[in-house]
Amino acid sequence: MCGRYLFSTQEYKEFRQIVRDAQRRSSGQHNELNFPMAGDIAPTSEAPVLIASGDKVVAEFQRWGIPGWRGGLMINARAETVCEKPMFRRSMAAQRCVIPASGYYEWDAGKHKYFFQLPGKPIYLAGIYDNIEGVNCFVILTTVPNGTVKDIHDRMPLILTHEQVRPWLTDSQTALQLLTITPPALQRSSEDGQLRFGDLM
């Protein structure tokens, strides 16, 4: 699964532009100084995401998490079944999003925390969204873990390359194909910052 990620505009000029675009689309409801420009994003937080507007890719703020059928909060959806689940099928067809991140966190069975990233590059998490009581809310898609992650957790985010972002958002047929990709090898470090290993594929 994916339950927390890092978003930092300090590292990437592209992220600063994404935030500015999201602020413009939110009509002044969000102030850049109040947004965590270099911090962790947790469920129920509002965060910048990329969506399609016609054939254009634009940014907006959305809330992480969609209320479930039984009162819980859905923050992830399985890529293998997202087209079958009634709760997600419509969103997968027409309301896909991409969540930009500097990296994401995962915990192993012993509650040890790890950080996964592409050194020097942002990552792009595939997601879908729905409008809940006037608020666009997103979930992150997860898939089978690759070699970097599999000994830590049995799921990982579906990570797109920069070149796959636009097709994911604007081309439904290509998006279906991208559901089955193997995410790129990542570098991982322990909570204390010590590099354990990376590029394990």
Active site residue 106: yes
Q: What per-residue confidence (pLDDT) applies to 59?
A: 95
Encode pLDDT of 151-188 as tens digits.
999 999 999 999 999 999 999 999 999 999 999 999 99
pLDDT bracket for residue 36 (50, 70, 90): low
Selection from 29-33, 49-53, 131-135 with the highest mean pLDDT:
49-53
Q: Let me know: does 18 contact 136? Beta carbons within 8 Å.
A: no
Q: Let me know: does 127 contact 137? Beta carbons within 8 Å.
A: no
pTM, 2 dp? 0.90
Q: What per-residue confidence (pLDDT) applies to 29?
A: 54
Q: What per-residue confidence (pLDDT) applies to 136?
A: 95
Alpha helices per DSSP H over 77-196? 86-94, 162-170, 172-178
Alpha helices per DSSP H over the chain? 13-25, 86-94, 162-170, 172-178
Q: What per-residue confidence (pLDDT) applies to 191?
A: 66
Q: What per-residue confidence (pLDDT) applies to 119?
A: 87
125, exposed or middle or buried, with CB in 10 Å at 0-12, 13-18, 19+?
Answer: buried
Q: What per-residue confidence (pLDDT) applies to 198?
A: 38
| The listed CATH number (3.90.1680.10, 3.40.640.10, 3.40.50.300, 3.40.50.150) that belongs to domain 6-189 | 3.90.1680.10
Active site residue 2: yes
Question: For the chain, what are the domain ranges?
Answer: 6-189
Q: Which comes out higher in pLDDT, residue 123 or 34?
A: 123
Q: What per-residue confidence (pLDDT) applies to 75?
A: 96
Question: Looking at 46, 60, 97, 106, which residue is catalytic?
Answer: 106
Q: Which residue type, as a one-letter code, is found at position 97? A: C
Q: What per-residue confidence (pLDDT) applies to 131?
A: 94
Q: What per-residue confidence (pLDDT) applies to 12?
A: 86
Q: What per-residue confidence (pLDDT) applies to 17?
A: 92
Q: What per-residue confidence (pLDDT) applies to 194?
A: 47
Q: What per-residue confidence (pLDDT) applies to 178?
A: 97
Question: Looking at 2, 46, 60, 97, which residue is catalytic?
Answer: 2
Encode pLDDT of 54-100 as tens digits.
889 999 999 999 998 777 899 999 999 999 998 999 999 999 999 99
